[in-house]
Amino acid sequence: MKKALRILAVIILLAAVGLWAAKGANPGWTINNIPHETMDPVTGLSGVTYEKGFIPGWDFLAVATLMAGVMAGASFLFRNKKAEN
C-alpha cells in the first residue's frame, strides 16, 4: 500500500506536468474559455468569440502537486512490511 501510494503520487505529478507542458505550458490561470479573434473586413473591427476548452495553468499544477503531496504523505501512515526470516 505504501509503495502503491508513492507510485500513484509520482504518476499524478508527472501526468499533470506532462499535460501542462503538452497544452502549451500556460503560466497563467487555467483557461476554460478560449478566445478566438475575428476580423470584420467591412468595419475593420476585431471581435472575440469564446469556445469552451481546457488549457491547464499554474492552478492546475498546484492542485496536482497538492494531491501528489497528500498521497505521498499518506504513504507514511503505513508501516513497512517486515522481512520474514
Partner 1 sequence: MKTMSRKMMRIRWIALLLGAALALPAPAAPESFDFKDPKNGNKIEFKLDAPAEKIAGTANGISGTVTFDPQNPGATRGKIVVATASLTVPNAMQTTIMRGNQWLDSAQYPQITFEAKELKNLQTNGDSTTADAVGTFTLHGVSKELTIPVEMKYLKDKLEDRLGGNQKGDILVITSTNFSIRRADFNIMPGQNLDKVADTIRLTLGVAGASPK
Positions touching partner 1 (CB under 8 A) are 28-35, 38, 40, 42-50, 57
Q: Strands (DSSP E) along 1-85, which ranges? A: 31-39, 46-55
Q: Least CB distance from residue 28 to partner 1, whole Å?
A: 8
16 φ, ψ (degrees, to nearest 5): -65, -45
* CA end-to-end span of the chain: 22
Residue closer to partner 1, measured from CB, 1 or 25: 25
Q: Least CB distance from residue 62 to partner 1, whole Å?
A: 13
Residue closer to partner 1, measured from CB, 26 or 75: 26
81: which 3 cell numbers? 512490511
